Amino acid sequence: MRREERQRRKDVAIDQRGILNGLAVKDGETAWVTATSRSDVIGGWRARRAEGGIVIDVASGAIVTEKLSMPHSPRWYDNRLWVLNSGTGHLGTVDLASGDFTPRAFCPGFLRGLAFHNNHAVVGLSLSRDGSFSGLALDDEMKKRDADGWCGVQIVNLASGDIVQWMLAQISMIGGDYQLRKTKLFNETGYDKEAPGSVTFQGTRAEIYRNFLGVGNGLPVSDFFYSPRRFGMASPKTDVKGIAGIIHIEPKPVSSCEIRMQGTPDTAIRAPAQLYYYNPGTKVADGSFRVSTGQMELLHGPEEINGFDYDIDPTSLLDVKSILDFIVFNYWQSISAKITVEIIHESGMRLFLIQVASA
């Protein structure tokens, strides 16, 4: 072994000092490498995570820049040197003359792994080992955007800097709150629940009310427009349109309540229920309620939607109380009783009192 080769090997430390972590090729030759710092003491890179990351020109050994934060994955593309400034969460370019870094896109995670295709960048994102990016500008960037860290891949349009597609990996998390954090990631996969759009409904007033209260069979729609979003970002398909179709509405109950029914002085039915509310305008008179026990459906509002249904199919009776209520209601029907119905809100306040026919 030549003397100079032995000396070079002595100069390479086996412990973590500056951490050489990326390599860029230009015209088939190694051109630049990245490192977390230029420190030459054990663990020196840790004190320079926020700033001090470097790009080295391999041919000359010159430091192109030392203004980065934990840089990764340098790449030469479109006559520019691209770098993942992982400590800030930015993909961007390094000016070879000044060493200045110009961000092009922010990605919510610790960035490592970069490829290009057809003027798009494919960026790899990972999570912190301890669940935070404390001490890095990335932590502030995430808080500013009210964002959680990703483990996945995002595709960046280099012309606009927009994230145009992505893939979120469902992975195991390290830490005592493993299940909570994993569940949170699972719930975040998919399209946002709310996004801008518009639609024109077709139907009578009664049909619209019934559907918005959750007891309709669907509404014909036209002029449908929707801009889907995922994780707070616009989808690549920003103009989803439809000429015609059917929309089915599944409302959520606004609160719990109790339905109390009296058909004769000595017989009564009381059952827990869910309360639904719909009002298409600002007038109190336009408001409508739906009270549902599963067996009983009571609609109250504008005259054309008022109604009361009691499912008396014996196969739907699931417990002793349901059977007894079924018997009582059948008795009321047999004598054509006038049934007084009272709805009590979960707070104890009576919402309304009406009388319905049992037949």
Residue 305 has φ and ψ, to the nearest 5°, of -105, -10
Contact predicate 330/323, CB 8 Å = no
CB count in 10 Å sphere of residue 343: 20
Question: What is d(CA 60, CA 33) in angstroms, rounded to the nearest whole number?
Answer: 12
Reported as a single tens digit per residue, the pLDDT across 210-241 is 999 998 888 888 777 767 666 566 655 555 66
pLDDT higher than 70, residue 264:
yes
Paired with 307 in beta bridges are: 299
pLDDT higher than 60, residue 31:
yes
Question: What is d(CA 59, CA 46) in angstroms, rounded to the nearest whole number?
Answer: 27
pTM listed for this prediction? 0.46
CB count in 10 Å sphere of residue 6: 9
Q: Compute the radius of gyration of the chain from its Cα atoms.
A: 33
pLDDT higher than 60, residue 14:
no
Residue owning tokens 């047999």: 334
Full set of structural domains in the chain with CATH: 3-188 (2.40.128.630), 197-247 (no CATH), 255-357 (no CATH)
Looking at per-residue pLDDT, the higher value among 131 and 89 belongs to 89
pLDDT higher than 50, residue 258:
yes
pLDDT higher than 70, residue 64:
yes
Percent of residues, the chain, with pLDDT higher than 90: 29
Q: Which amino acid is at 218?
A: G
Residue 353: pLDDT band with limits 50, 70, 90: confident
Residue 191 has a pLDDT of: 53
Residue 17: pLDDT band with limits 50, 70, 90: low
Looking at per-residue pLDDT, the higher value among 164 and 192 belongs to 164
Reported as a single tens digit per residue, the pLDDT across 101-139 is 999 999 988 899 999 999 999 999 987 765 556 678 888
